[in-house]
Structure 1
Amino acid sequence: MNKFVSIRRDLHQIPELGFQEFKTQQYLLDYIATLPQERLEVRTWRTGIFVKVHGVRPTKMIAYRADMDGLPIEEETDVPFRSRHEGKMHACGHDFHMSIALGVLTHFAHHPIRDDLLFIFQPAEEGPGGALPMLHSDTMKEWMPDMIVALHIAPEYPVGTIATKEGLLFANTSELFIDLKGKGGHAAFPHLANDMVVAACALVMQLQSIVSRNVDPLDSAVITIGKLTSGTVQNVIAEHARLEGTIRTLSVASMEKVKERIEAIVRGIEAAYQCEATIDYGSMYHQVYNDEALTAEFMSFAEQLPDIRVIRCKEAMTGEDFGYMLAEIPGFMFWLGVDSPHGLHHAKLTPDERAIDKAIALLTSYIAWKGNN
């Protein structure tokens, strides 16, 4: 079996949530320790890792980022290397991302190029967000790269396909939590209570008017309430309700507008239903905006390779905290085709492992070309 496929399977069995990637970090460190150390410099940051590969005559530094964490999903595949951690799964492909990064690192540990390279193994991409604090870490300030690259697996594309575009690739995202507190009571006397089930239902319906009536029709936005909890038993009027959801927009201005309207509507709910409301936006991720010149150059480079098909895709409403890094460092992200019948964050996600070698070959050839020119 290919070494990096084997590594991916090892990592797949030990998924860990954000900032809890202790086994994952140790596994990566143990592997990195087997590589030639002459030009390597390794530093840890919380549960993440920085690996610098010193170039022979550096004029710049090129960074490659791979995220590390899994998701709180019970795996439903029948593969022999399924997750050993109950209720957790690498359902977003971060096991692929890490094994590919190790493959590229291995190549350059044995075959250094002119320029310095920085490999960033980043925790907590799924939440609460590791990119921004890692970006502001002392190590990153000292080793600030001149450009940065990352990939994300794409179940909908066949193996051998990469997809990306200049400019906006992923949306601005924000979590949304709204708590409503009213007055409970007996179900037979609703006039003596303030029912938060009714208030929450009204709020959900009003929130749906924001996209249709407050966002420019030529822009795009999404407000999804994925979870609503309220009440304790069938004959008690609920005094509390909680809405949990997500906001996605294709512009920073639209995100600000959407939040402004959410807050106005919630104030109206407070007045109409005589309740108190609190809003928490939780984790917020900056849009992934690809540097136009570097992305076009990369796409042109990849198109020359015989076994790679390049697609100029549309922007997506997915979120990625890599956007914070791209906001300060020129670079890009691209989709890597892995041809799975089940999509990202699905309990039956089964990416095609042949994509690992394809990605390693593509990235080593591109980084070597970029780092020697």
Structure 2
Amino acid sequence: MSSFVQIRRDLHQIPELGFQEFKTQSYVLTYLQTLPEDRLEIKQWETGIFVKVKGINPKKLIGYRTDIDGLPIVEETGLEFHSKHETEMHACGHDFHMSIALGTLTHFVYHPINDDLLFIFQPAEEGPGGAEPMLKTDIMKEWMPDMIMALHIAPEYPVGTIAIREGLLFANTSELFIDLKGKGGHAAFPHQTNDMIIAACSLVTQLQTVISRNVDPLDSAVITIGKITSGTVQNIIAERARLEGTIRTLSVESMEKVKKRIEEIVKGIEVGFQCEANIDFGVMYYQVYNEAKLTREFMDFVAKRTDVKVIECKEAMTGEDFGYMLKEIPGFMFWLGVESEYGLHHSKLNPNEKAIDTAINMICQYIEYKGNE
């Protein structure tokens, strides 16, 4: 077992939610202290870390980003190294992401190339979002990469597969919270109340018309209401209801259109059900859009390897706040095959650890190529 597989297992046991990654940050910093100090510059921000690996004759700065947070999921993998935090799990593969980043970083500490490298250990990817505030830091302004790259594990692809495409890879995403307030009362006297369960049910149905009647059929968008909270007991008409969901679109313009239409429909609910309504769009993640030239160059590079297969994939409705970095910095993200029976955000996700060394070797060779141009 390689040392970076062990690092993955160590990190898997200490998943933490966004901006609470104190153990994770400490673990990474402790590991970095084992590396030669003269080759590194380390700066902390919140629970994140910036690490600059010095080049021999730098002409540009190449960035590599990994996310570090976990999810509020109870793990059910049965692994010996399962999460020590009962209600939290690395169910999106960020333990894999970190171990691959540390493996790549370590290689270039001992095998320097011409260009400088910047490794970004970013908190809060799952929420409330760490990429955008990191971009605004003085550290990032000083160390702004000329290009940047990242990966995300993909349970549906076998180990040794890289899936990527030019242009849009991940969708624009937005949270959606709607609170309704009417008038509660006794179940025997509905005419004296404004029932928010009825209003909520009507609203859910109407929201689906946004997709079927307001979005171009050749475009794609999703509105999913994943949670409704309302009521107290069976014989009281509910005074309040809360809907929680998500919006996904393949374009920024569609996101704006969908939000505007949601606002209009909710105003109609207020009038029709004589209630008050409040909308909160929460956290929005900008689309992951791969820069064409760098992406094609990466695909051509990987295609020449015998141990890795590159395929051109379709865009996905998943969200990733790495999109904010790609909005400002040329670069790309790709899927890394890890062949797990269970998918992302599942309590039984168990990626194949062989993908870790495969990814480290491939990324190191690509960065050597780019960093010695």
Q: Deviations over 1:177-211 (max 9, x none)?
A: 00000000000000000000000000000000000
Q: Deviations over 1:295-353 (max 9, x none)?
A: 00000000111100001000000000000000000000000000000000000000000
- One-letter amino acid of the counterpart of residue 213, structure 2: R
The separation in 2 between residues aligned to 1:362 and 1:226, in whole angstroms, is 38
User: Which residue of structure 2 aligns with residue 275 of structure 1?
Assistant: 275
User: Which residue of structure 2 aligns with residue 36 of structure 1?
Assistant: 36
User: Which residue of structure 2 aligns with residue 13 of structure 1?
Assistant: 13
State how 1:147-166 maps to structure 2 within 5 Å: 147-166=147-166
Q: Residue 159 of structure 2 aligns to a residue in which SS?
A: coil
Tell whether 2:100 aligns with 1:103. Answer: no
The separation in 2 between residues aligned to 1:163 and 1:149, in whole angstroms, is 14
The separation in 2 between residues aligned to 1:116 and 1:102, in whole angstroms, is 16
Length, aligned pairs only: 373
Tell whether 2:122 aligns with 1:122. Answer: yes
User: Which residue of structure 1 aligns with residue 291 of structure 2?
Assistant: 291
Tell whether 2:254 aligns with 1:254. Answer: yes
Q: Deviations over 1:64-118 (max 9, x none)?
A: 0000000000000111000000110000000000000000000001111100100
Tell whether 2:333 aligns with 1:333. Answer: yes
Q: Deviations over 1:155-196 (max 9, x none)?
A: 000000000000000000000000000000000000000000
The separation in 1 between residues aligned to 2:49 and 2:18, in whole angstroms, is 14
Tell me the CA shift for residue 54 of structure 1: 1.1
Q: Residue 38 of structure 2 aligns to a residue in which SS?
A: coil
The separation in 1 between residues aligned to 2:372 and 2:232, in whole angstroms, is 65
User: Which residue of structure 2 aligns with residue 309 of structure 1?
Assistant: 309
Tell whether 2:89 aligns with 1:86. Answer: no
User: Which residue of structure 1 aligns with residue 231 of structure 2?
Assistant: 231
Q: Residue 117 of structure 1 aligns to a residue in which SS?
A: strand
- One-letter amino acid of the counterpart of residue 56, structure 2: V
TM-score (structure 1 length as normaliser) = 1.00
User: Which residue of structure 1 aligns with residue 199 of structure 2?
Assistant: 199
The separation in 2 between residues aligned to 1:4 and 1:218, in whole angstroms, is 44
- One-letter amino acid of the counterpart of residue 106, structure 2: T
The separation in 2 between residues aligned to 1:352 and 1:149, in whole angstroms, is 22
Tell me the CA shift for residue 38 of structure 1: 1.3
Tell me the CA shift for residue 39 of structure 1: 1.7
Tell me the CA shift for residue 26 of structure 1: 0.3
The separation in 2 between residues aligned to 1:359 and 1:296, in whole angstroms, is 18
Tell me the CA shift for residue 37 of structure 1: 1.5
- One-letter amino acid of the counterpart of residue 280, structure 1: D
Q: Deviations over 1:344-371 (max 9, x none)?
A: 0000000000000000001000001000
User: Which residue of structure 1 aligns with residue 52 of structure 2?
Assistant: 52
User: Which residue of structure 2 aligns with residue 215 of structure 1?
Assistant: 215
User: Which residue of structure 2 aligns with residue 26 of structure 1?
Assistant: 26
Q: Residue 52 of structure 2 aligns to a residue in which SS?
A: strand
Alignment RMSD (CA, Å): 0.4
The separation in 2 between residues aligned to 1:371 and 1:256, in whole angstroms, is 39
Q: Residue 324 of structure 1 aligns to a residue in which SS?
A: helix
Q: Residue 200 of structure 1 aligns to a residue in which SS?
A: helix
The separation in 1 between residues aligned to 2:57 and 2:77, in whole angstroms, is 47
User: Which residue of structure 2 aligns with residue 133 of structure 1?
Assistant: 133
Q: Residue 153 of structure 1 aligns to a residue in which SS?
A: strand
Q: Deviations over 1:209-266 (max 9, x none)?
A: 0000000011000000000010000000000000000000000000000000000000
The separation in 2 between residues aligned to 1:136 and 1:305, in whole angstroms, is 37
User: Which residue of structure 2 aligns with residue 146 of structure 1?
Assistant: 146
Q: Residue 37 of structure 2 aligns to a residue in which SS?
A: coil
- One-letter amino acid of the counterpart of residue 139, structure 1: I
Tell whether 2:100 aligns with 1:112. Answer: no
- One-letter amino acid of the counterpart of residue 338, structure 1: V
The separation in 2 between residues aligned to 1:134 and 1:10, in whole angstroms, is 26
The separation in 2 between residues aligned to 1:54 and 1:2, in whole angstroms, is 25
Q: Residue 260 of structure 1 aligns to a residue in which SS?
A: helix
User: Which residue of structure 1 aligns with residue 188 of structure 2?
Assistant: 188
User: Which residue of structure 2 aligns with residue 4 of structure 1?
Assistant: 4
User: Which residue of structure 1 aligns with residue 63 of structure 2?
Assistant: 63
Q: Residue 38 of structure 1 aligns to a residue in which SS?
A: helix
